Amino acid sequence: PPASPAFTGRKDILFKLEEYFTSAALSTRQRVFVLYGLGGAGKTQIARKFIEQNQSGPESFRYYAFSIESYDY
């Protein structure tokens, strides 16, 4: 689904994602970016907005979403 119409801000994170995934130095390598934080912080909306903004580009994006309730080190 697309990002919420109420989504606003977070341009700094969206810029970092754009820069990371379009870097020429990494063009032949698979890239992974992890968004993490507390529930309700906007991780899903950031990911949706990024995909929405970049879905028509020449690059191919695969994305996976998952949640870990707790993680023991």
* pTM of the predicted model over 0.85: no
CA distances from 72 to 33, 43, 60, 68, 69 (A): 21, 22, 33, 10, 10
**Token pair 């063009």: residue:** 27
* Burial class of residue 5 (count of CB atoms within 10 Å of its CB; 0-12, 13-18, 19+): exposed
Tokens of 38: 């507390």
Alpha helices (runs of H) in 1-67, residue ranges in sequence order: 11-22, 43-54
The one-digit pLDDT tens for each residue of the chain (73 residues) are: 678 888 888 889 999 988 888 776 656 777 788 888 888 888 888 888 888 887 765 556 666 666 666 655 5
Provide the pLDDT for residue 33. 84
